[in-house]
Amino acid sequence: MKKLSQTHLKISPMGLGCMGMSEFYGQTNDQNSLQILEQAFHAGINFFDTADTYGHGHNEQLLGQFIAHYRTEREAMVIATKFGIVRAENHYKRRIDNTPDYIRSACEASLKRLGIEQIDLYYCHRRQPEIPIEDVTATLADLVQEGKIKSFGFSEISAQSLEKACAIAPVTAVQSEYSLWSREPEQSLLNTCQQLNVEFVAYSPLGRAFLTADLNPETMPENDFRKNLPRLQGEAFQSNQLLLKKFSDLCQSWQHSNAQIALAWLLRKHAHVTPIFGTRHSKYLQDNLTANQINLTTEQILQLDQLFAPDQIQGERYPDAGWTGIETA
């Protein structure tokens, strides 16, 4: 277990992301999702990630059902949720709200849906540039003082903004996309997190399934958001597939699945990185859990670094509407 700085919270080496259990990745089934949550918890995962926007509250309610079932073990769980993305139901387009009144009302609504008295880790999901980061941090620090949240963090924030936030109050975690094929945090954010003792939570560590080689855009249902990812379109997809083939061959020669190697790369590269993978399948959960036992050598890590050098990846990681509120600097 890993202790989160500024708190008494201890998290498992990897967390479970719940987003796909409500939205974005096609068909969902609540009964099945509850079983996966249970299996993950019994297997030692205690760090669960959700957001108010996933399924417009459905994801928090689902997690709330799970928490209610394990009420006596609530203290052993670390529940992370997020605020700030405002969307019309069934629409991807969003606006961002970081105003104090909005943060307070979103926090109350999340507490209610999750059925808990305190959120363990509360992230600002996206930044509204007109609201200074110092003001958002001050509002979150007030919520800690009031006992509504135990700790807070920021998602997709820049290194510069993180420094400003840390000057106001202790920040516990940063959550951004980070995987073999999304390496932006290596430019400065990872170092800044390390220097400021902030945990880095890596979302979409399996490249939303692309890295597992099990993703086929042609057979995805219409409601699968990944259909719109620039990296999975036309020539970009063809080019990225060639890279994926090389990766799959390498993983096979090392006698591990693609998912195991993608996760082991994150776990071995930086001590302050916690990957949160998503799954709705028991067999994938078991596969992913063993990643923490794989000791990649320095040479293997370097080989993977080079194979997925950022200039080898074709296409952006988000469609246009998805960049709203993401700080890239």
Q: Which residue is nearest to ligand NAP (CB)?
A: 17
Burial of 146: CB neighbours in 10 Å, binned 0-12, 13-18, 19+: exposed
| Smaller CB separation from ligand NAP, 167 or 230 | 230
Catalytically annotated residue among 25, 54, 122, 284 = 54
Q: Which residues contact 208 (CB under 8 A, 6 or more apart)?
A: 25, 215, 226, 229
Alpha helices of 254-317 — where are they, by DSSP H? 258-269, 282-289, 298-307
Residue 122 known to be catalytic: no
Q: Of the two residues 30 and 146, which places its CB atom closer to ligand NAP in the complex?
A: 30
In the complex, which residues of this chain contact ligand NAP (CB under 6 A)? 17-20, 25, 49, 125, 155-156, 175, 203-209, 212, 214, 259, 276-281, 284, 287-288
Q: Identify whether the C-beta of residue 243 lies closer than 8 Å to the C-beta of residue 232.
A: no
**Helices within the chain (DSSP H only):** 30-42, 58-69, 100-114, 133-145, 159-166, 189-195, 234-253, 258-269, 282-289, 298-307
Query: In the complex, what is the shortest distance from the CB of residue 175 to ligand NAP, in angstroms, rounded to a whole number?
Result: 5
Residue 111 CA to residue 94 CA, distance in Å, equals 22
CA distances 48 to 18, 76, 79, 329, Å, are 7, 11, 5, 28
CB 24 to ligand NAP: min, Å: 8
Instruction: Please identify, using beta-carbon distances, which residue of 18 and 143 lies nearer to ligand NAP.
Output: 18
Q: Which residues contact 146 (CB under 8 A, 6 or more apart)?
A: none
**How near is the Cβ of 159 to ligand NAP at its closest, in Å?**
17
User: Residue 15 CB, nearest distance to ligand NAP (Å)?
Assistant: 8
Cβ closest to ligand NAP, residue 6 vs residue 205: 205
Taking the least distance from each CB to ligand NAP, the nearer of 147 and 221 is 221
Q: Contact, 4 vs 121, CB < 8 A?
A: yes
Q: Which of 276, 323, 9 is nearest to 152 (CA)?
A: 9
Please state the closest distance from residue 211 (CB atom) to ligand NAP, in A: 7
Residues with catalytic roles:
54
